[in-house]
Amino acid sequence: MKKILFIFILALSFGVYAQKVEPKFEVEGNKVKATYFHANGEISQMGYFLNEKLEGQWKMFNAKGDKIAMGNYKNGVKTGKWLFWEGDTMKEVNFDDNKIASVANVKQKEAMVIN
């Protein structure tokens, strides 16, 4: 009996784990807001498309829901200041035409709060 119960629980856990959370797309004006999810249901990234290209602010999150990156796209190209969080450090990366122009490390305690 214990063996059957163990196999049932094991099969159920594989079935739940294997389920994929589908992305969500919403039309907002002339843009499409896209939200992608990790397997655990937490948001992995969210942002906008315009004419099928990445546009405007995008945010990325780890599987725990912590923000790990944020920046802007213009016509599908990374542009301007992007922020990347890792532990106690925030990296400020400036992009020019999808290429890294500069990188600066900023301790989070010194950085201003950014949503």
Task: Spell out the per-residue pLDDT of the chain, length 115, in tens.
Answer: 444 434 445 444 444 444 578 999 999 999 999 999 999 999 999 999 999 999 999 999 999 999 999 999 999 999 999 999 988 889 999 998 889 999 998 876 554 455 5
76 falls within a domain: yes
Is residue 84 assigned to a domain? yes
Write the single-letter amino acid at 1.
Answer: M
d(CA 71, CA 28): 19
In a domain, 15, yes or no: no
pLDDT at position 18: 47
In whole angstroms, give the CA distance from residue 85 to residue 60. Answer: 10
CATH at residue 63: 2.20.110.10
Instruction: Write out the two tokens for 28.
Output: 């907002």
DSSP H stretches of helix in 19-114: none
Domain count, the chain: 1
Q: Give me the amino acid identity at 62.
A: N
Domain holding 61, by residue range, is: 23-107
Residue 73, domain member (yes or no): yes
pTM check: above 0.75: no
